[in-house]
Structure 1
Amino acid sequence: MTKKRSKLIIRVVLLVGTIVSLFFVPWLLVKAWILPLPDTIQAQMDEAIDHGFEGMIVYVDQAGQPPQYFASGWHDREAKIPAKPDALFKIASISKLYDAVAVTKLVSDGRLSLDKTIADYLPEVSGRIENADKITLRLMIQHRSGIPNFTDAPDFWASPTATYEESLALILDKPANFEPGEDYEYCNTNYLLLNKIMDNELGYGNFQFIQEEILIPLNLNNTFSSVSEVKIEDVMSGYHVGHPFDLKEDDHGMLATAEDVGTFLRALNDGTVFEPGEQEIYSSIYEYEHGGWVPGYQSFAGYHEDLDAVVIAFYSTTDPKLYNWNLSEIINSRIAKILRKQKSSG
């Protein structure tokens, strides 16, 4: 076979592969990416609703400007209540930022050590969590423990666990996914254990500590640990593709307004949430922005250093294949582009 013919065959194979791969790419994602960029955030959000999201909230805190509040779509689709920028929303794994700050404060106070292990703090799980004597708090915070993720259990979201014990039971006696510190894998079990360790050290629920050390000092009066603490009508409805019912009454942890999350994220990034010496500890263990997902609710807390802008984006529709997650990330990037365009022209 000649080199020319060989190269032609390779090109044909690559072309066929590209065509096949494009066939499996949701065209909605391509459309969302290539559409002309709107001039305003509100127009971009309205476009996102046209893409299939039931509701959306955005909060922007940009240095030198007053905060901006946006909403589009439905707060409650069935009741035909329009989206509200001050609605409560399930922030899911964004709560890990609050947990990491709480651990930081306890480490700074000498009450916890980043270098002590699960076995040191929870001896009852030794022998039931592989490498419990090697997995430190630092590794758990950084998702480098190798512990299996309890929310990856088959059909977990069809019937979620309600207690620490039920959640932990899903991973006990399971083999590690990798040796501690040798890889990275996002794992909710890490924070399940960290919360238990904090509870034990404090002698009370760690959310009370978060309230006292984070929420109250920052005047965050619209951040809660559970839907049981709020008026359900204040919670934005959440919808999951293929599921017929509103999911707002399901309890999946912390809720907050976009403004409260934005205020916290600003304090996290400018350091005002910390006492002297704490930010150095935090910077060595965790990140300064986060996303969150539970059925019906996607949340993003981002900081754009070039704009000195905090952007919080809430989307009230999820789907089994996470296409809406990818779509959300495209919308988020376009919102940032709009802010940069506005800044350059303003």
Structure 2
Amino acid sequence: MKKRKIKRILRTVFILASIGSLYFVPWILVKAWILPLPDTVQEQLNEAIDSGFDGMIVYVDQAGKPPEFYSAGWHDRKNKIPAYPQALFKIASITKLYVAVATAKLVKEGRLSLDKTLAVYFPELAGRIQYSDKITLRMMLQHRSGIPNFVDHPEYWTNPPKNRQETVEYALDLPADFEPGEDYGYSNTNYMLIEDLMDKTLGYPHEQYIKEEILNPLGLKNTFGSLSEVDIDEVMSGYYVGVDKDFKYEDTGLMLATVEDVGKFLRALNDGSVFKEGEQEIYSSIYVYEHTGLLVGYQSIAVYHKDLDMVVIQFNNTTNFDGYEWSIAEIIYSRIVKILTKQNSS
């Protein structure tokens, strides 16, 4: 009897604490969670557009079934062009998956070493990056280097860098975030330096190596290394809340791809078909098998769901770093996965 009473008291405390916490949760997020789950992915996308997103694209690839494509909202808001699944999209940090695969291939070829240090590979930066003689390529790939993230520099957003060298400068001559290998800290600087290292090692742009060793073997003809390679009209517009500008014209140096190409790549990454013998073991020791991307005007989520043997990719073209768009996009993604899970079990 005493135990039951204690349980009732604890349950009451938990409920009261939960109710109290709601005062600190933005209601826009609560609403996104508690709305009744639609029956279809298309209905969920339509709901997302109603909640403030300009455009959204979703790709679903479940083993044994034809791929499914969904879209809603605008591809180009100004010209009233509806969103469509074949559009090119700036995939932002999903690019890191391709870079990590390429690095694993170069390591297997013996052209790079995971245990050589930054000071060895970039002696000219030895005095400008703290602990450069201890930071290994492996640590950089794993975001365990402690190198500051250039986007965290106070002037990065108010005085954006004009080129690659200026971008790197925002991470130089600063104290390390932590000693190498002692913590985890996501840093875009790591992968920018890795790309430079691949260029240096190859003697030609790493984008070409990615194309020859990853894209071509997988038949991915709608994945590109930069904005200069594509028809700008095929690129989905990107919007920032409160800013009257289309960010698709900004060349970020990151990859662009259709949702289907990203889905095919992610499937190949997870089933191992992107690798040659011995490469997957290296990759598994250095990086992850899913990713998200965030850029001004562009958000993306790419995940393989092992329990369903299903790849689900979501693109949306509305951002607001001071708002809740990213969190809402994640909620929408989770609801789409719930819909697909429900459909799969019925």
| TM-score between the two structures when normalised by the length of structure 2 | 0.93
RMSD: 1.7
Tell me the residue number matched to 1:214: 214
Tell me the residue number matched to 2:4: none
Q: 2:122, 2:323 → 1: CA distance?
A: 35
Q: CA deviation at 1:160?
A: 3.1
1:38-68 deviation line (CA, Å, top 9, x unaligned):
1111011111111110000001110010000
Tell me the residue number matched to 1:317: 318
Q: CA deviation at 1:158?
A: 4.7
Q: 1:335, 1:158 → 2: CA distance?
A: 36
Report the 3-state secondary structure (helix = DSSP H, G, I; strand = E; otherwise coil) of the residue aligned with 1:299.
strand
Q: Is 2:277 the partner of 1:289?
A: no
1:7-26 superposed matches below 5 A: 19=20, 21-26=21-26
Query: Conserved in 1, the CA contact under 8 Å of 2:156 and 2:170?
Result: no
Tell me the residue number matched to 2:301: 300
1:281-320 deviation line (CA, Å, top 9, x unaligned):
1011100000000000001111100110011100100002
Q: CA deviation at 1:155?
A: 4.5
Query: Conserved in 1, the CA contact under 8 Å of 2:135 and 2:180?
Result: yes
Query: Conserved in 2, the CA contact under 8 Å of 1:40 and 1:338?
Result: yes
1:97-246 superposed matches below 5 A: 97-246=97-246
Q: CA deviation at 1:156?
A: 2.0
Q: CA deviation at 1:329?
A: 0.7
Tell me the residue number matched to 2:327: 326
Q: 2:186, 2:19 → 1: CA distance?
A: 30
Q: CA deviation at 1:165?
A: 1.4
Equivalent pairs counted in the alignment come to 334
Q: 1:82 to 1:159 in 2, by over 3 A?
A: farther
Q: 2:256, 2:175 → 1: CA distance?
A: 33
Query: Conserved in 1, the CA contact under 8 Å of 2:237 and 2:247?
Result: yes
Q: CA deviation at 1:22?
A: 3.2
Q: 1:266, 1:296 → 2: CA distance?
A: 26
**What amino acid does structure 2 have at the position aligned with 1:290?**
H
**What amino acid does structure 1 have at the position aligned with 2:209?**
F
Q: CA deviation at 1:171?
A: 1.7
**What amino acid does structure 2 have at the position aligned with 1:319?**
N
Q: CA deviation at 1:79?
A: 0.8
Q: 1:17 to 1:343 in 2, by over 3 A?
A: closer
Structure 2: 5+ residue stretches without partners: 1-8
Structure 1: 5+ residue stretches without partners: 1-7
1:225-263 deviation line (CA, Å, top 9, x unaligned):
111211111011111112111111011221100000001
Tell me the residue number matched to 2:342: 341
Q: 1:36 to 1:17 in 2, by over 3 A?
A: closer
Q: CA deviation at 1:15?
A: 5.8
Q: CA deviation at 1:208?
A: 0.5
Q: 1:344 to 1:18 in 2, by over 3 A?
A: closer
Q: 1:229, 1:161 → 2: CA distance?
A: 22
Tell me the residue number matched to 2:6: none
Q: 2:24, 2:231 → 1: CA distance?
A: 42
Q: CA deviation at 1:161?
A: 2.2
Q: Is 2:42 the partner of 1:42?
A: yes
Q: 1:58, 1:159 → 2: CA distance?
A: 34
**What amino acid does structure 2 have at the position aligned with 1:207?**
E
**What amino acid does structure 1 have at the position aligned with 2:179?**
E
Q: 2:197, 2:264 → 1: CA distance?
A: 27
Q: CA deviation at 1:146?
A: 0.5
Report the 3-state secondary structure (helix = DSSP H, G, I; strand = E; otherwise coil) of the residue aligned with 1:58.
strand
Report the 3-state secondary structure (helix = DSSP H, G, I; strand = E; otherwise coil) of the residue aligned with 1:262.
helix
Q: CA deviation at 1:27?
A: 1.1
Query: Conserved in 2, the CA contact under 8 Å of 1:157 and 1:295?
Result: no
Q: CA deviation at 1:168?
A: 1.5
Q: 2:321, 2:39 → 1: CA distance?
A: 32
**What amino acid does structure 1 have at the position aligned with 2:309?**
D
**What amino acid does structure 1 have at the position aligned with 2:337?**
A
Q: 2:212, 2:238 → 1: CA distance?
A: 30
Q: CA deviation at 1:323?
A: 1.1
Report the 3-state secondary structure (helix = DSSP H, G, I; strand = E; otherwise coil) of the residue aligned with 2:165.
helix
Q: CA deviation at 1:322?
A: 4.8
